[in-house]
Amino acid sequence: MDLPDQEAEQAAWAGRKRIVDVGGLDLAYVENAGSEPPLLLVHGFTDTSRSFSLLAPHLSGRRLIMPDLRGHGASQTGEGCGVADFADDMARLIRRLRLDRPVVVGHSLGGMVSIMLAARHPELIGGLVIMASALKPDFASDHPLIGGVAALRDPISPSDPFYDWWHACGPGVPRAFLDALAQDASAIPAARWRAILEEVRGTDLTDAARAARVPTLIIAGGRDPLFGEAHQQALAKALAGSRLVWAQDCGHNPHWEDPAFVAETIGRTFGGG
């Protein structure tokens, strides 16, 4: 997709969102029509469904459901902001849209949500793709993410230097996409950033992963500064029968940096590629 097309795609993204009530909470999602079983793509912390806008063209022909998590994008905030809250929302969305055992693709926080979903609602899903994620983030108090989020003040500026670190990726990722991501993230109040991050820091999904009994693909960035090899090996050990694939030249966002590789890898495991 060339630059003018990418700018138009990003400008139009918000207008493609549909709103659905899931248990009294309005969730927004973008849908691409295509073959079954669908892929349910769950984004990371402070992202929105837009996170998958670079990957979606490489999954053409497959039905895609790309929601905004509660408190992100056009979705309502709700009361809780823990991993289990997000997972239960996804379960309600699957039921509401009558999705037939979708393959759930989760990035970072979305990967954690997907593992919890598989543990709590195994009957609803047909497979997992866990991308650049972790069982137990356990960020130390001196981690740059902790300090960076603590320093944010409302209204957050989309040009805040923090985004240079937070959205760091290879040079081929379109600037129009990164600018739009920063706009989306800046709409989230700083207190909400901190509340979700505290929930993530206190989460340990080891038992949930061991309870998950669905085919699982793990895609890891070889240069991921957040969740490196130790995190990926822990995931592979806890998720029985999982397959770990490395996007060697990617950081924390393989689906932005090498969406063709990610789509091909998903397709080899779950069809439609």
pLDDT digits (tens, 9 = 90+) for 29-41: 999 999 999 999 9
Per-residue pLDDT at 4:
60
Q: Of 207, 194, 192, 191, whose CA–CA distance to 136 is shortest?
A: 207
Domain-located, residue 18: no
Contacts of 59 (CB under 8 A, 6+ apart): 32, 34, 39, 263, 266, 267, 272, 273
Q: How does DSSP classify residue 54? A: T
Q: Of 191, 186, 195, 132, whose CA–CA distance to 161 is shortest?
A: 186
pLDDT in tens, 131-156: 999 999 989 999 999 999 999 999 99
Per-residue pLDDT at 273:
44
Q: What is the mean pLDDT of the chain?
A: 96
Inter-residue contact 266 to 105 (CB < 8 Å): yes
Dist. CA 149–CA 145, nearest whole Å: 6
Domain-located, residue 150: yes
Dist. CA 206–CA 119, nearest whole Å: 11
| Pairing relationship of beta strands 103-107 and 62-67 according to DSSP bridges | unpaired
Domain-located, residue 250: yes
CATH number, domain of 201, equals 3.40.50.1820
Dist. CA 245–CA 240, nearest whole Å: 15
Dist. CA 209–CA 149, nearest whole Å: 28
SS3 category, 248: coil
Single-letter residue type at 184: D
Inter-residue contact 170 to 250 (CB < 8 Å): yes
Domain that holds residue 51: 3-12+25-270
Inter-residue contact 31 to 71 (CB < 8 Å): no
Q: Which residues does the chain have with pLDDT short of 70?
A: 1-4, 272-273
Q: How many CB atoms lie within 10 A of CB 130?
A: 31
Domain count, the chain: 1
Domain-located, residue 235: yes
